[in-house]
Structure 1
Amino acid sequence: MTVEKVDTLVVGAGQAGVALSEHLSKSGVPHLVVERHRIAERWRSERWDSLVANGPAWHDRFPGMEFSDADPDAFVPKEKVADYFVAYAEKFAAPIRCGVEVKEVRKIPGRPGFRVETSDGVIEANNVVAATGPFQRPIIPRVVPDDAEVLQIHSNTYRNSDQLPDGAVLVVGAGSSGVQIADELLRSGKRVYLSVGPHDRPPRAYRGRDFCWWLGVLGKWDAETPGPGTEHVTIAVSGARGGETVDFRRLAAQGMTLVGLTQAYENGTITFAQDLADNIARGDANYLSLLDEADAYVARNGLDLPEENAAREIGPDPECVSNPTLKLNLAEAGITSIIWATGYAVDYSWLKVDAFDEKGRPKHQRGVSVEPGIYFLGLPWQSRRGSSFIWGVWHDAKHLADRISTQRKYLAYHASAKREPATA
């Protein structure tokens, strides 16, 4: 059996794999990127039809290429984002092989390198980079049993309102995905219930600048660790319809029913936590704190940016917040479908190496694994807050490429050095 040999094998050709390939190419590191589907496939087939990027085109891109035919302040549709990565890979002739699934990676005993079993044969690589990103295995909490008389899907399989049966919808999760899907369903004429947990709620824009700009100048994208208790707090932000601040009070005024965190299910009835008002208040506090920091930055630097006093106007709590629903019988409410916008878990079951903790999380420092020769890319907070975003993963990829290149130089010296044994 023929065994293909390569210095560095990159698993995954999404934004992380394409970024790393560029930096490895610039460093002269021979490598191969394998992708089980197409380049940036998740943007195409695991997101809803109307999805656009949550950041403007000037921000959510790699430094080396702008989006073609897109206003810098526009929010690019998902297909165009995927096309961008394809074009970027073509720009430097990235060695990407699509349609190849990695089944297993194991350390080769007694010598450097790893044996990689793929759907296209065996590859031996000195280095393996898991560039599969954070969105690998959809999480549906075990709350409502599978045999309940209601359709249950994860947000990654939602495409549009037409795929849902007639009736009301419960959307669980009020991060960017959940709130955008709930809003779309409400606009389609659906009766919508939205389960709102703890969240951050930044302004889409303030004083003429997008929140991505504010997080940049305030140094928040470069924060190296999340604040206490914020590791898993979701962010409610949207680029839909040209971008707008997520406002749960507005959604309630338009007919959406907000409920608290989804807790339990019994005999056709879902129970919600008594935390809705607190979650809304926490989101408001996050929103206002960013406005405070932005105003202070403007004053400190003497910037000529227009004041926006109306942005601080927060209306009274709607009835569904001040008098929240704590129990909801699905049949009585006419709910025929539940969309779980509850995030993802990583899945490294194919990576049979000693690089994980007892919970299956990668043990690494800025993507450099404790297992020599194994690397990770695209993880949330890999080196900073912006690591899992398009521009952030590009900078993390440069760091990994530098590390891989440096290790190759040490090994090259070892292979070429010929020394005589020391004599007395």
Structure 2
Amino acid sequence: MSVEKTEVLVIGGGQAGLAVSEHLGNAGIEHLVLEKDRIAERWRSHRWDSLVANGPAWHDRFPTLEFEDYEPGDFVPKEKVADYFVKFAEHINSPIRCGVEVKQVTKNEGGPGFVAETSDGVIEARYVVSATGPFQQPVIPAVVPDDAGVEQMHSTGYRNPDQLPEGAVLVIGAGSSGVQIATELMRAGKKVYLSVGPHDRPPRSYRGRDFVWWLGVLGLWDMATPEQGKEHVTIAVSGAYGGYTIDFKQLAADGMTLVGRTESYENGKMVFGDDLAQNVADGDANYLSVLDQADAYIERNGLDLPEEPEAREMLGAPDCVTNPLSDLDLKEAGVGSIIWATGFKTDFSWLKVNALDENGNPNHQRGVSSEPGVYFVGLPWLSRRGSTFIWGVWHDAKYLADHIATQQGYLKHHKAHPPETKAAAE
């Protein structure tokens, strides 16, 4: 059986894999990118129809290629984001091969590097980069039984309001996906219950600048680790409808019923925690903290940006927050569907080398794993807060490509200058 060989095998052809490919190509390093579906497939088939990028076009892109046909402040639709990555692969002449799934990666016992068993044969590589990203396996907590008489789906299965059965909808999870889906359903005339957990909610823009700009100049994208206690706190932000600040009190005023964090299901009822008021208050405090930091930055740097006092005006707490539901009888409330916007888990069971910890999670420092020659890219907080964003993964990819180039340099030196034997030295 013939075995294909390459210097670097990059697994995953989304934004992370393509970013690595660009930097490896610029360094003249031979490599191959494998993608089991199409380029950036998750943007096309794992997202709802109306999704747009959460950041403006000037920011949510690679530094070396701009979006065509969009203004810098536009929020690009998901299909056009996927098209952008296809064009980017062409732009960098990436050696990407689609429709090839990697079954497992093991050490090359007969030589250096690793062996990848794929749906298209065996490939040997000295270095392996896992660029499969964080959105691998949708998580639906085992809370509501299948025979509860309500349709359940993960946010990755939701496409548009017309696909749902008659009745109200319970959306569980108030990060960007959950709140955007809940808002779309409410605008379509659905009665919506939104289960709200701990979250951050930055202003969409403030004093003429988008929040991504503020996080940049304030150094918040470069935070190396999340604040203590906020490791799993979601960010509620949206580029939908031209971009707007998510305000849970406003959603309630518009007709959405907010409930606390979902805890359990008992006798046909969803049971919620008593944390709703605190979660909303903490989200408001996070919002105001960004405004405070922005104002201080403007004053300190003498910037001429328009004042925006109305940004600090807050609605009063709605009744669903001051008198929150402790439970919800799904049948009595007419709930026909539940959408779980509850995130994802990773699966690295195919990576059968010493690059994972005891829980099966990547064991790495800034993407360089505990297994020499194996790398990770595209994971949350890989090196900073911005690591999962398009521009952030590009910078992480450069660091890893440079690391690979450095390792190659040591090997070239070894071949060019073999160690002297003791006899030769004498």
What TM-score do the two structures reach when normalised by structure 1? 0.99
**Partner of 1:304 in structure 2?**
304
Q: Distance in 2 between matches of 1:335 and 1:394?
A: 43
**Partner of 2:75 in structure 1?**
75
Where structure 2 has 5 or more consecutive residues not aligned to the other structure, the ranges are: none
> Following TM superposition, by how much is the alpha carbon of 1:396 offset from its aligned partner in structure 2, in angstroms?
0.2
Q: Distance in 1 between matches of 2:136 and 2:269?
A: 31
Q: Distance in 2 between matches of 1:267 and 1:103?
A: 42
Q: Is 2:46 aligned against 1:46?
A: yes
**Pairing 1:64-213 to 2, within 5 Å after superposition:** 64-109=64-109, 111-213=111-213
Q: Distance in 2 between matches of 1:35 and 1:198?
A: 35
**Partner of 1:242 in structure 2?**
242
> Following TM superposition, by how much is the alpha carbon of 1:336 offset from its aligned partner in structure 2, in angstroms?
0.9
Contact 2:250 2:315 in 1 (8 A): no
**Partner of 1:283 in structure 2?**
283
Secondary structure of the residue aligned to 2:127 is strand
> Following TM superposition, by how much is the alpha carbon of 1:139 offset from its aligned partner in structure 2, in angstroms?
0.6
Secondary structure of the residue aligned to 1:28 is coil
Secondary structure of the residue aligned to 1:33 is strand
Q: Distance in 2 between matches of 1:20 and 1:144?
A: 41
Q: Is 2:285 aligned against 1:315?
A: no
Q: Is 2:411 aligned against 1:407?
A: no
Secondary structure of the residue aligned to 1:212 is helix
Letter in 1 for 2:61: R
> Following TM superposition, by how much is the alpha carbon of 1:418 offset from its aligned partner in structure 2, in angstroms?
4.0
Q: Distance in 2 between matches of 1:115 and 1:419?
A: 29
In 2 relative to 1, CA 330–115 (structure 1 residues): closer, same or farther, beyond 3 Å?
same
Q: Distance in 2 between matches of 1:73 and 1:197?
A: 30
Secondary structure of the residue aligned to 1:56 is coil
> Following TM superposition, by how much is the alpha carbon of 1:413 offset from its aligned partner in structure 2, in angstroms?
2.2
Q: Distance in 1 between matches of 2:420 and 2:297?
A: 64
Q: Distance in 1 between matches of 2:365 and 2:337?
A: 42
Q: Distance in 2 between matches of 1:289 and 1:210?
A: 15
Where structure 1 has 5 or more consecutive residues not aligned to the other structure, the ranges are: none
Q: Distance in 2 between matches of 1:248 and 1:153?
A: 23
- The one-character-per-residue Cα deviations of 1:59-87 (angstroms, maximum 9, x if unpaired) are 00110011001010010000111111111
**Partner of 2:63 in structure 1?**
63
Q: Distance in 1 between matches of 2:323 and 2:117?
A: 57
Secondary structure of the residue aligned to 1:331 is coil
**Partner of 1:389 in structure 2?**
389
Q: Distance in 2 between matches of 1:81 and 1:62?
A: 11
> Following TM superposition, by how much is the alpha carbon of 1:147 offset from its aligned partner in structure 2, in angstroms?
2.1
Q: Is 2:344 aligned against 1:340?
A: no
Secondary structure of the residue aligned to 1:352 is coil
Q: Distance in 2 between matches of 1:45 and 1:29?
A: 32
Contact 2:129 2:374 in 1 (8 A): yes
Letter in 1 for 2:254: Q
Q: Distance in 2 between matches of 1:191 and 1:301?
A: 47
> Following TM superposition, by how much is the alpha carbon of 1:420 offset from its aligned partner in structure 2, in angstroms?
4.4
In 2 relative to 1, CA 315–413 (structure 1 residues): closer, same or farther, beyond 3 Å?
same
- The one-character-per-residue Cα deviations of 1:120-178 (angstroms, maximum 9, x if unpaired) are 01111111110011110101111111222111100011000111101000000000000
Size of the alignment, in residue pairs? 424
Secondary structure of the residue aligned to 1:185 is helix
Q: Which stretch shifts more, 140-149 or 276-285? A: 140-149
> Following TM superposition, by how much is the alpha carbon of 1:417 offset from its aligned partner in structure 2, in angstroms?
2.8
- The one-character-per-residue Cα deviations of 1:81-139 (angstroms, maximum 9, x if unpaired) are 11111111101210000000001111122531111110001111111110011110101
- The one-character-per-residue Cα deviations of 1:36-75 (angstroms, maximum 9, x if unpaired) are 0000000000000000000000000110011001010010
Letter in 1 for 2:97: R
Q: Distance in 1 between matches of 2:5 and 2:169?
A: 51
Q: Distance in 2 between matches of 1:257 and 1:227?
A: 30
Q: Distance in 2 between matches of 1:12 and 1:50?
A: 25
Q: Distance in 1 between matches of 2:420 and 2:271?
A: 76
Contact 2:367 2:376 in 1 (8 A): yes
**Partner of 1:233 in structure 2?**
233
> Following TM superposition, by how much is the alpha carbon of 1:360 offset from its aligned partner in structure 2, in angstroms?
1.4
Q: Distance in 1 between matches of 2:155 and 2:420?
A: 64
Secondary structure of the residue aligned to 1:122 is strand
Q: Is 2:13 aligned against 1:26?
A: no
**Pairing 1:360-399 to 2, within 5 Å after superposition:** 360-399=360-399
Secondary structure of the residue aligned to 1:86 is helix
Secondary structure of the residue aligned to 1:146 is coil
- The one-character-per-residue Cα deviations of 1:193-218 (angstroms, maximum 9, x if unpaired) are 00000000100000010000000000
Letter in 2 for 1:221: W
Secondary structure of the residue aligned to 1:332 is coil
Q: Distance in 2 between matches of 1:232 and 1:420?
A: 54
**Partner of 2:352 in structure 1?**
352
- The one-character-per-residue Cα deviations of 1:353-380 (angstroms, maximum 9, x if unpaired) are 1111122111101100000111000011
Q: Distance in 1 between matches of 2:31 and 2:47?
A: 30
Q: Distance in 1 between matches of 2:215 and 2:123?
A: 42
Q: Distance in 2 between matches of 1:313 and 1:60?
A: 29
- The one-character-per-residue Cα deviations of 1:216-275 (angstroms, maximum 9, x if unpaired) are 000000111111111110000000010000011111111110000000001111100000
Q: Distance in 1 between matches of 2:334 and 2:305?
A: 48
Letter in 2 for 1:371: E
**Partner of 1:224 in structure 2?**
224
Moved over 4 A (4+): none
**Partner of 1:6 in structure 2?**
6
RMSD of Structure 2 on Structure 1 (CA):
0.9
Q: Distance in 1 between matches of 2:151 and 2:417?
A: 66
Secondary structure of the residue aligned to 2:325 is coil
What TM-score do the two structures reach when normalised by structure 2? 0.98
**Partner of 2:273 in structure 1?**
273
